[in-house]
Amino acid sequence: MNLIIDVGNTSIKLAVFEEEKLLIKKVVLEEGLIEAVNNLNKDYKNIKHVIVSSVGNLGEDIKAYLTKNHQVLYLSHQTKIPFKNLYATPNTLGIDRIALIAGAVNQFPDKNVLVIDAGTCITYDFINSKNEYLGGAISPGLRMRYKALHNQTAKLPLLDTEAIESIIGNTTKTSINSGVVNGLTVEIDGIIAQYKEKFSDLTIILTGGDANFLSKQLKSSIFANSNFLLEGLNFILLNNISE
């Protein structure tokens, strides 16, 4: 069994896989990570290999605990990956984006795939049918857009994410929601349309914390999969174990 640890900007996602089958996933904060891993070890006694993907810093005590009890792979730019990375600055490519592309390679081999990760930021990552990663784009996510309007102005309130009923906002609240939600969905649909003009037979994956919300707003045909990054990390780990 494999344990996947994805350390994000605000929380940590844990998942246990048996080969490629997801058995359980949960979300914890860093201070609860050791306890959560310990509980998973009790429930799934065959966990042997661990992969850690971290966009931030993971405490040395946690690293020591993991290394003591498991064979740990820390995903980095030196890790063996199942695709050709043509990013001009490969050492600056986020490891979360590497995992997403690995997931695309595993689930849609020899396809043109655009992976859209709707989290703190919106990332767009493209791999072609020749198994070549070409790059993509990064833009502000939903919550970042709401917070920017509130933090960079004197009077605009900080709102919760809410689906829009009309493109025309007739109050400050509905105007903000229309600007944020409609603005982002038009952006995503527009970027998808640009990719479709260049690449035929395009497969589009939408994942991340806001994937379910956004999938209901988009016009484009997509595959929504909230576990895509975890599945990509597991695929990288399986490839490295089999060396």
Catalytic residues: 96
125 a known binding residue? no
120 a known binding residue? yes
222 a known binding residue? no
54 a known binding residue? no
153 a known binding residue? no
96 a known binding residue? yes
97 a known binding residue? yes
What are all long-range contacts of 201-205, with beta carbons under 8 Å and residues at least 24 apart?
A: 201/111, 201/112, 201/129, 202/112, 202/113, 202/114, 203/104, 203/108, 203/111, 203/112, 203/113, 203/114, 204/113, 204/114, 204/116, 205/100, 205/103, 205/104, 205/108, 205/113, 205/114, 205/115, 205/116
Interatomic CA distance for residues 136 and 68, integer angstroms = 38
Tell me the CA distances in angstroms from 93 to 134, 154, 240, one per residue in order: 11, 35, 20
143 a known binding residue? no
186 a known binding residue? no
Cα-flanking dihedrals φ and ψ of residue 135, to 5°? 130, -150
Q: Which residues are annotated as a binding site for K(+)?
A: 117
Q: Which residues are annotated as a binding site?
A: 6-13, 87, 94-97, 117, 120, 172
Q: Which residues are annotated as a binding site for substrate?
A: 87, 94-97, 172
